[in-house]
Amino acid sequence: MIAYCGQPKLGFHRIQDNIGGHLAPFFSYSDFMIRIYSYLFALLLSLPAYSQTYPDYTELYVNDFADLLNIIQEQAIREDLMELREKRGIEFTVVTVKLMSDYGHFGEIEPFATGLFNYWGIGDALKNDGVMMLVSRYDRKMRIEVGSGYGNNLNAPMKRIIDRTITPIFKNDEYAQGIASGVEAVIYELVGEYPGEIDGSTSQKIRGFLSRALTALKWAIWPIAAGILGLATWLYRRRLRYKKRRCPIDGTKMQLLAEHWDDQHLKDGERIEEDLKSVDYDVWLCPKCEHLTIEAYKAWFTPYSACRSCGFKTLEGTTTVLSSATTSSTGLKRIDYDCHNCSEQYSIKKVIPRVSQSSSSSGGGSSFGGGSSSGGGASGSW
């Protein structure tokens, strides 16, 4: 087949030979053309297979090509995988890619996973006990591929972990959390102990159990606690803001002017700030001496910043990414500022920091053991 690509004439002759051999009695021009077309079509379909490549690994534990993990998350997962390797000798590796088509692969994840597993040679060469978790972010497909030493024993447990532990979290695009929980579940399935507790003492295991329970509880309780805290803060600020004031001159109780009445006491810039909701103004009036107190309340979350020319919080910035940052180079973005109050207008360019990728070479050995997979494991999508 490869020869056909390079030397089309050779292929053409072989087709003619075939037709001459098999179809000689029925040979017609249209038959011949159909053959040619179906042959070309088959060739076209098979072309991507020739250009398929696999990424090379940069380390044995986490190869986050899709940048789904930050340094801290990546290190936590790496430590779990290192512990498994050091204490049980099992090579378990996590790989993320953006798209399988980036490597010339189209279609299902199974052949790609098996191919990558064997290309890297994950696991012990004799025991074939390696494990690989592969996540293809934009294909929204994943697979846990296991070495041939496990036979079919792990297929059902891995499927259960994918369906119950990992993909429900991936559905919310929370990849770091999904991968971390999945790694923990797979390690427990493999050795019957949780990461951080392999060969640990009983007290260590109790501590681990409590911390896991606490984590689960935290996930459930945190949103409620944050809600209560937010509401309390809001009520407190509201109370301070609308509490009765006395005139600093004659001590009379002041009145808070309604929104449409306070506008005439505000400057143009302040009115625009109110329109943009970047600052809210309260105007208090003393009914006796007409003394005015103007109080400004800055919005907590606003896209507007203070203008360097007029000083009002009416400056809007629009960011355009000129070049994205990669792991090897910084990127560049342009921010165009435009003031809604004055004529101030300017642009600045800012460097986007390089995407960090920690390089860890610790953990004994810098290459996989040469294990292979015959396609065992399980897949899922979200």
The DSSP bridge partners found for residue 284 are 256, 293
Residue 146 and residue 58: Cα distance in Å, rounded? 20
Residue placing its CB nearer to Zn ion in the complex, 185 or 339: 339
Backbone angles phi, psi at 322, to 5 degrees: -85, -40
Residue placing its CB nearer to Zn ion in the complex, 8 or 251: 251
**From the CB of 345, what's the least distance to Zn ion, in Å?**
9
Residue placing its CB nearer to Zn ion in the complex, 170 or 312: 312
- 381, 354 in Cβ contact below 8 A? no
**From the CB of 134, what's the least distance to Zn ion, in Å?**
52
Element holding 133 (H helix, E strand): strand 131-136
**From the CB of 291, what's the least distance to Zn ion, in Å?**
4
**From the CB of 317, what's the least distance to Zn ion, in Å?**
13
**From the CB of 270, what's the least distance to Zn ion, in Å?**
12
DSSP one-letter string for 134-180:
EEETTTTEEEEEE-GGGTTTTHHHHHHIIIIIIHHHHTTT-HHHHHH
Residue placing its CB nearer to Zn ion in the complex, 95 or 310: 310
Residue placing its CB nearer to Zn ion in the complex, 120 or 304: 304
- 240, 297 in Cβ contact below 8 A? no
- 224, 261 in Cβ contact below 8 A? no
Residue 47 and residue 41: Cα distance in Å, rounded? 10
| Contacting residues toward Zn ion, per CB under 5 A | 247, 249-250, 252, 286, 288-289, 291, 307, 309-310, 339, 341-342, 344
